[in-house]
Amino acid sequence: MQHFLSNATYYHSARTPTGDEDSTPMDMWNGYVNNDDRALMKVIKYSSPTSAGAECIDPDCSWVEQWVHRAGPRKDIYYEPNEVKAAIVTCGGLCPGLNDVIRQVVFTLETYGVKNIVGIPFGFRGFFEKGLKEMPLSRNLVENINLAGGSFLGVSRGGPKTSEIVDSIQARRIDMLFVLGGNGTHAGANAIHDECRKRKLKVSVVAVPKTIDNDIPLMDKTFGFDTAVEEAQRAINSAYIEARSAYHGIGLVKLMGRSSGFIAMHASLSSGQVDVCLIPEVSFALDGEYGVLQHLEQLIKNKGFCVVCVAEAAGQELLQNSGATDASGNAILSDIGVHMQQKIKTHFKGIGVHADIKYIDPTYMVRACRANASDAILCTVLGQNAVHGAFAGFSGITSCICNTHYVYLPVTQVITAPKRVNHKGRMWHRCLTSTGQPDFR
């Protein structure tokens, strides 16, 4: 999908180099990314599949180069900016940085010369629900939205069928659709892209990977994850202070993560205050000689207090499952935090040892805040690159960071399955070294 219509005017003349900055002759340097530029996805050569965290394509783990499109502005662009109508939609749950991305998408579109920019309110529902009107967007309007958390456009789960969304895209004459969301949203974006191709519509569908869960494969991280970890750390710190100050204090913190334990693992690592970290990727027993409760008993005996961090999806096999799903079809989890709180209380009562349990569930607090510095920068780059990708004529891509480089990945590649913590990987083992916890099996 790359038939170039015009030359890009993305760069301001003030940014054109004077010729002094480097040795590239003035007439050759243009500051644009070449269409054939690629980034290497993986840089470690594992000599054996038994190496810690090895990700091998072949059984013998031979080196396979995987190149991906480098993101950034192209000299030749596919659309006439003044004819473009661009729309932005934010789907799924909230995530720090949504407003930063919306803002950068608007800024970058305007820099290209796009005048018709709209926001679709409340996720994919905004394409369908009567009474939800598209919101005209401009630099002036979005100038300060990054100062607050949430989504300026609103979010939602569930919503219309793909064909209805594409009917709406067609009726609204949208040329570029920027879709901000997690794995569900990416599946939605892919379905929209496919339907547009089927109908031979010239629409660029470009996603930006958002989720505090960090569960989208192939990329270093999703925006919002760092901020969520930082906020989660505050909850752990409070649990630590409460536990440390109480006689036989046990601080218990439950952290979000629908199907993966990245937030729990990273917050445990970064806080350095956690004695036991439980994630869904590693099964554990609560009862018995090698169970968590026995270990807590030892911790209380030996150091007088302890802190436990449990991911919300951990230990689901120990609980009754209602089978219920949310509007997007995601399973509704049973509450492992409350379950553990009760189990710990009962256990210590049963052995006649005093224990003071302080349970903290920060829930939405880790994601309803504004982006921290590192996420704000990531959002800025991903948002700008999303627009460059659309102008380059790409569709069905996501703007992300791989192996520290900014790239475009085909959406189809990132919706295969949610990324999960590798229990044989170095990071999980670092976490175990830090907490000092044994295997609970």
Ligand X SMILES: Nc1ncnc2c1ncn2[C@@H]1O[C@H](COP(=O)(O)OP(=O)(O)OP(=O)(O)O)[C@@H](O)[C@H]1O
Catalytically active residues, by annotation: 213
Nearer to Mg ion, 134 or 281 (CB): 281
Q: Which of 73, 97, 123, 149 binds ligand X (CB under 6 A)?
A: 123
The secondary structure of the chain, three-state, reads CCCCCEECCCCCHHHCCCCCCCCCCCCCCCCCCCCCCEEECCCCCCCCCCCCCCCCCCCCCCCCCCEEEECCCCCEECCCHHHCEEEEEECCCCCCCHHHHHHHHHHHHHHHCCCEEEEECCHHHHHCCCCCCCEECCHHHHCCHHHCCCCCCCCCCCCCCHHHHHHHHHHHCCCEEEEEECHHHHHHHHHHHHHHHHCCCCCEEEEEEECCCCCCCCCCCCECHHHHHHHHHHHHHHHHHHHHHCCCEEEEEEECCCCCCHHHHHHHHHHCCCCEEECCCCCCCCCCCCCHHHHHHHHHHHHCCEEEEEECCCCHHHCCCCCCECCCCCECCCCHHHHHHHHHHHHHHHCCCCCEEEEECCHHHHCCCCCCHHHHHHHHHHHHHHHHHHHCCCCCEEEEEECCEEEEEEHHHHCCCCCCCCCCCHHHHHHHHHHCCCCCC
Nearer to Mg ion, 204 or 259 (CB): 259
Q: Find out whether 185 is annotated in a ligand binding site.
A: yes
* Cβ closest to ligand F6P, residue 81 vs residue 93: 93
Minimum CB distance to ligand F6P smaller for 213 or for 297: 213
- Under the criterion CB under 6 A, does residue 181 sit at the interface with ligand X? yes
**Rg for the chain, CA atoms, rounded:** 24
Query: Is 420 marked as binding a ligand?
Result: no
Minimum CB separation of residue 184 from Mg ion in Å reads 4
258 vs 266 by CB, closer to ligand F6P: 258
Window contacting ligand X (CB under 6 A); options: 129-137, 178-186, 232-240, 288-296 = 178-186
Note the residues at the interface with ligand F6P (CB under 6 A). Answer: 93, 157, 182, 211-213, 256-258, 312, 326, 367
Out of 90, 151, 168, 183, the only residue in the binding site for ligand X (CB under 6 A) is 183
Nearest to 386 by CA among 19, 117, 67, 94: 117
- Choose between 33 and 313: whose C-beta lies nearer to ligand X: 313
Decide: is 328 part of the binding site for ligand X (CB under 6 A): yes
In the bound complex, what is the minimum distance in angstroms from residue 97's beta carbon to ligand X? 12
For Mg ion, which residue has the nearest CB? 182
- Does 91 bind ligand X (CB under 6 A)? Our answer is yes
256 binds, among Mg ion, ligand F6P, ligand X, none (CB under 5 to 8 A by kind): ligand F6P
Q: Could you say which of ligand X, Mg ion, ligand F6P, none residue 226 binds, taking C-beta under 5 to 8 angstroms by partner kind?
A: none
Say which entry of Mg ion, ligand F6P, ligand X, none residue 124 contacts (CB below 5 to 8 A, set by partner kind): ligand X
With CB under 6 A as the contact rule, which of the stretches 58-66, 152-160, 271-279, 335-343 interacts with ligand X?
152-160
Annotated binding site for ATP: 93, 157-158, 182-185
Annotated binding site for substrate: 211-213, 256-258, 312, 364-367
Question: What is the contact surface with ligand X in residues (CB under 6 A)?
Answer: 91-93, 123-124, 157-159, 162, 181-185, 187-188, 191, 211, 213, 328, 330
Annotated binding site: 93, 157-158, 182-185, 211-213, 256-258, 312, 364-367
